[in-house]
Structure 1
Amino acid sequence: MSLNEIKNEHERLAILIALDALGYKENDSTIQDVCAKYGNDMSRDRIKTQLAWLQEQGAVNTETVGNYTIATLTSRGQDIAKGRAFVPGIKRPSA
């Protein structure tokens, strides 16, 4: 596994965990701040790219409002964040 793949997996899990902690719905700017606080510092563009990938996997739903991307955690996304489901390309949370 390449370093880029490892980084992607960690970033995607961090976004799902952040959404779970923030009440399931939040904008990309707030997600960026929360992820950075826990060691996953990403640009807003990177957050938006990861959100698009997570939406393709059914883990989040997104909508654009002005300059913001609003992400809503799906039940599948919550299951992934809690380790109840596995999707290749998203790190499994540690026990």
Structure 2
Amino acid sequence: MNSTLTLKPRPSNTALIAWQFTGQPLYEWPNWVQSSCSLQRSDDGQLELRHERRSGAQIVYLGEWLVHDLDGGICFYTDAEIRKEFEIA
């Protein structure tokens, strides 16, 4: 399964890129994820991506999605949230 999707916001014609964190090694991450996130383990040993933002760190867990918008911002969504918020192209 390909873990990178092209998304269409509802109701717009703007395309976005989404990537699902499934524990891939760093070299398989898209460049925009490599440049903005770091891999770490939580206190309970769970893999997580840490994405630093001006408002504080976002923690992305296995199975969650990172969405790269046209302004260079990155947000994260659970699988259910991404399917509710976007149309998959």
* Same fold? TM cut 0.5: no
Give the structure with higher Rg (CA). 2
**Relative to total residues, which structure has the larger strand share, 1 or 2?**
2
**Relative to total residues, which structure has the larger helix share, 1 or 2?**
1
TM-score (norm 2): 0.32
TM-score (norm 1): 0.30
